[in-house]
Amino acid sequence: MPYLRDRAIVLRNEPFKEHDRKVVLFGIEHGLLEAVARGASRKEAKQAGHIVPMSEIEVLIAKGAVYDKLAVARLVEQHRAIRDRLGALAFVGSFFDLFERLQRPGIVDPGLYELLLDVLSIGESLPDEPSAERARLLWSAAALKLLDRIGLAPALSHCVSCRENVGESDAWMLPFDGTVACADCYRGLRTAHPNATCLAPTALTLLRFLRREPFGRVLLLTASTDVFAAASHAVSVTLQQAPLSKEPHGSETIFALLS
Ligand SMILES: [Zn+2]
């Protein structure tokens, strides 16, 4: 029976048949993986504690005709501090949900693995009770970095039509194609894009910051709640165009949990 070995992060884990669990992982060398952990739902199962979502593990997976089996799972880092705090759990959990929905089996990218590790690390360093707006902004930063990595991030620097730089005055984010138009050009595009989102210069600057800067700097950022909300909304709009298998829980879940 062929085996594959990898270091992976547990994205999801759910009951499968009577005593088993299905584990969804993202591996450095193999990308998205799915394997069944036999007997992991039994109380005495040794592996159960190693395949908890957000853990980083070393795995040996036996390739099967019907499904793959998790033969060995060895814990590298449990990231337990995240599961003990609601704010961190809401942020990391809803990002993992989005992450999985944007992956396809066979896409391998160590940069995406790094992004997951960064999200886990900032999740662990979050204050006990981040505001819903702060957690949503961090989530938006993570979503933008993810979209950037897979080539779906919106073009935020210049107008799609005249190619001039945008950001000095209001710009418009066009739904469906992830681009931005300057106010002048948008007058001619309004009929084709009646649902475009207006982005004030502050929101556009914030979006660029979220995309570019490490999470630690996003955590320290100060701006008005309205600017935070505008940037987060623009990310939600962008995600509506992404090829998602299902709509992610995303920022709405964070609001519901933390407001
Ligand atoms: Zn223009």
**pLDDT digit string, tens, across residues 1-53:** 799 999 999 999 999 988 999 999 999 999 999 999 998 888 777 777 789 99
Q: Find the 203 Cα to ligand 1 centroid distance in Å.
A: 18
pLDDT of residue 156: 87
Q: Roughly how many angstroms between the first and final C-alpha of the chain, as a whole number?
A: 50
Ligand 1 geometric centre to CA of 181 (Å): 5
Q: Is the pLDDT of residue 142 over 90?
A: yes
Token code pair at residue 16: 């499968």
Burial letters 222-256, b for 16+ CB under 10 A, else e: ebeeebbebbbbbbbbbbeebeeeeebbbbebbee
Distance CA 160, CA 203 (A): 18
Tokens for 148, please give them: 């950037």
CA of 174 to the centre of ligand 1 (A): 12
161 alpha carbon – ligand 1 mean position (Å)? 5
Find the 166 Cα to ligand 1 centroid distance in Å: 8
What 105-109 contacts at long range (C-beta under 8 Å, 24+ apart), as own/partner pairs, is 105/31, 105/32, 105/33, 105/34, 106/31, 106/32, 107/31, 107/32, 108/29, 108/30, 108/31, 109/31, 109/149, 109/150
DSSP 48: G
Query: Rounded to the nearest whole angstrom, what is the distance from the C-alpha of residue 157 to the centroid of ligand 1?
Result: 11
CA of 163 to the centre of ligand 1 (A): 6
Matching residue, tokens 């509506």:
240
Summarize pLDDT for 83-92 with one digit per residue, the tens: 888 889 999 9
Domains along the sequence of the chain with CATH: 3-78 (2.40.50.140), 81-154+195-258 (1.20.1440)
pTM: 0.90
**247 has pLDDT over 70:** no
Q: Which stretches does DSSP call E strand in the chain?
A: 3-16, 20-27, 31-37, 56-62, 69-77, 171-174, 179-182, 197-199
Question: How far does the centroid of ligand 1 lie from the alpha carbon of residue 239, in Å?
Answer: 23
Q: How many CB atoms lie within 10 A of CB 207?
A: 26
